Amino acid sequence: MCDYSLELYRSRPATQEEQYTLRRFPSGTMGFTAARDCETAVCMPADARLRLEGIGEAVQQAFGVGSTEEVVMTRLEGGAYAHKDAVRFDNGREVLLQSFNAGVTAELVASTSDLTDREERQLFRAPADLVDA
């Protein structure tokens, strides 16, 4: 998911085991970029789990979180929001990416498809005591 306001820029999907940095694009919109290409917006999958590091004091205090948190990518619909991309903290609070300080780093921990594949493997795995040795 990339905020609609990043449509002016090249973009690509996020991949696991890559580190991203939140930066302000010339349009004024906050978005993720990869270290090797700070001109391309990196789009996080909906419901992806991210590990954020370097969360600023203002966001920490306003949302009751620490400087490092695991979050889920979400979209805030409706209301008077000019931007839509947001994250949900484990405490249930949601905040627009626009509210974060530039320089926050992110790592994709798991995407929705990763979680679905893992859950399916667990559902269809034979219990250890039923497997013939």
Question: What pLDDT sits at residue 116?
Answer: 46
Instruction: Count other C-beta atoms under 10 Å from residue 73's C-beta.
Output: 24
Cβ contact 23:38 at 8 Å: yes
What is the rounded distance in angstroms from the CA atom of residue 92 to the CA atom of residue 109?
A: 18
What is the rounded distance in angstroms from the CA atom of residue 14 to the CA atom of residue 1?
A: 9
Count of the separate structural domains present in the chain: 1
pLDDT tens per residue across span 37-46: 889 999 998 8
Q: Smallest Cα–Cα separation from 74: which of 90, 103, 94?
A: 94
Q: Which of 60-64, 67-71, 74-78, 115-119 has the lowest mean pLDDT?
A: 115-119
Q: Which residues contact 58 (CB under 8 A, 6 or more apart)?
A: 101
Is-above-0.75 flag for pTM? yes
Cβ contact 39:10 at 8 Å: yes
pLDDT tens per residue across span 81-113: 678 899 999 999 999 999 999 999 999 998 765
Instruction: Count other C-beta atoms under 10 Å from residue 7's C-beta.
Output: 11
Range of the domain at 89: 4-130
Residue type, 59: V
What is the rounded distance in angstroms from the CA atom of residue 67 to the CA atom of residue 35?
A: 21
Residue type, 19: Q
